[in-house]
Amino acid sequence: MQLEVEGVAKLIQNAKKPVMTIKPMAAGRVTPFVGLTFVWNSIRDIDLVTVGTMTPYEAEEVVEMSLDILDKR
């Protein structure tokens, strides 16, 4: 998506329906902490975050990191 992050955040906040964010780590170009922190702080309570993982360990790591980020949000 060729938009500025501020513009994306504004689109999400003004959306009339729930938003599903995908690929918050930009296919490995952004670290999980940076990507997840951005999306969890840019979306609303009704929105979703989707990520791809290669192993159950990676999935567990993403869930734990997300819960930590949400705790501090």
Alpha-carbon distance 49 to 51, whole Å?
7
Alpha-carbon distance 32 to 15, whole Å?
25
Give me the pLDDT at residue 64, please: 96
For 57, other C-beta atoms within 10 Å of its C-beta total 9
Q: Is the pLDDT of residue 73 over 80?
A: no
Q: Is the pLDDT of residue 6 over 60?
A: yes
Q: pLDDT tens, 8-49?
A: 888 889 999 999 988 888 888 889 999 999 889 889 999 999
Give yes or no for a contact between 42 and 56, defined as CB atoms under 8 angstroms apart. Answer: no
Which pTM was predicted? 0.78
